[in-house]
Amino acid sequence: MNKTDFYFDLPDELIAQCPLEKRDNSRLMVLNREKNTIEDHSFFEITNYFRPGDLLVMNNTKVLPGRLFGAREDTGGKVEILLLRHLAQKDWEIMVKPGKRARVGARIVFSPELKGEITGTTQGGLRIISFEYTGVFEEIIDEIGLMPVPPYIHETLKDNNRYQTVYAKREGSSAAPTAGLHFTPDLLQKIEAMGVEIAEVTLHVGIGTFRPVKCDVIEEHHMHEEYYEVPEETAKAIKRTRERGGRVIAVGTTSVRTLESNAKLHDGVVTPYTGVTDIFIYPGYEWEVVDALITNFHLPESTLLMLVSAFYNREAVMKAYQTAIDWKYRFFSFGDALFIE
C-alpha cells in the first residue's frame, strides 16, 4: 500500500491545542463494523457500549518530563535532547537537536547535578548518552525537565498532569498514550461497577510510535523498538474474558501493539512477558486478541492511522476521518476520541 492512501487534509483550527477542562467531556465517534454506522456522542457515554464481562486493557505508562536543555561542555553550544528509552544503568537512547553538536565523545552539561557524554549512535540518527549525576536521577529530571508535548501543540501546558492518564504508574514514556487521557477516576469506577473488568499493560512510548513513515510503500517502513510488559494478572484476565465470552477492548494503539505483539510471540495466547516490540500493524494484519478499540484521531500518513485502518478497513476509516472534519472534531493528542466496536 502507498503512504498517500492514508493522507487527508486537516484544517489547522481542528488541531487541539489544550485539553478540555473535564477529561470525559470530549466528543466520541462510534463506528460499528457490523452495521457500518457512524454515531456522535460524548466520551462519558462510552459506558453505553460496554457489556458486563468485557475487559478494558489500559497502558499504565507514565510520561517522563524528558525534554532537557543543555550546553556543550567545551564550546557552550546549546543542545536539546529528548529521553526515548532507558538502556542500562545510566545509559539512555535519546533524540538530539542539533545533531552536529552531539557527536560521539561530546560532553553536555544540563545542570550542576546532571551531565552526560554521547557514547554511541543507534538507528535513524539517534544517540546514546551516559549520564553522570549527583542525587536521584528521577528527582533531577522532574526538577529540570519539560513535558515532551508534540510539536503541533503551540500553547504552553499549564498542568503537566493533563498530559498523563489518571492511571499512569510506570515512568518511562516520551509521549502520552493519548486515548487514555479521556478517562476520569469516576468514569473508571462506573465502568467497573457495571461488570467490566480492567487490566493493565505497560508500553513505554518512544519514537517508534510517532516517527513519520518516509517510505512511499508502507510495507518498507520499520518501527523502532519499544519496551513493553504484560503482567501475569492481565494474561489471566484475558483468559477469563475469553472463557466467559466477553470482549477485549484496548485503550489506545499502544495497548493494541502490546497485546498483539505478545500473542504473535506466543502462538496466539497472551502470556506474561517482558520484552521489546517493533510490530507494525497495517491493513491486511490478522488480529489475535483485540475485539474493540478506543483511540484518538491521528496524523495523516502515520503508523497509528494505518493501525486503526487495519482494525476496520481503510475506506471506512478514511470516511470516518472526513466525517470528523465535517463535524468539527478536535484532532491529535488533546483531541476527541473514536470507538470502533
* Alpha carbon distance 332, 96 (integer Å): 24
For the chain, the farthest-separated pair of C-alpha atoms sits apart, in whole angstroms, at 64
Average pLDDT of the residues in 306-315: 97
User: What integer best gives the mean pLDDT of the chain?
Assistant: 95
Predicted local confidence at residue 158, as pLDDT: 87
Q: Is pLDDT above 80 for 338? A: yes
Q: Is pLDDT above 90 for 45? A: yes
Is residue 211 within 8 Å of residue 221, measured between CB atoms?
no
Output helix, strand, coil percentages for the chain, rounded to the nearest 5: 30, 30, 40
Instruction: Give φ, ψ of 144 to 5 degrees.
Output: -110, -15
pLDDT-derived band at 208 (thresholds 50, 70, 90) equals: low
Predicted local confidence at residue 211, as pLDDT: 77
CA terminus-to-terminus distance, the chain: 25
Q: Is pLDDT above 90 for 210? A: no
Tell me which of 15-19, 124-128, 233-237, 247-251 is least confident: 124-128
For 324, the enclosing helix (H) or strand (E) is helix 314-326
Instruction: Give φ, ψ of 46 to 5 degrees.
Output: -60, -25
Query: Whole-prediction pTM value?
Result: 0.92
What are the pLDDT digits (tens) for 165-198? 999 999 999 999 999 999 999 999 999 999 999 9
What are the pLDDT digits (tens) for 115-156? 999 999 988 789 999 999 999 999 999 999 999 988 899 998
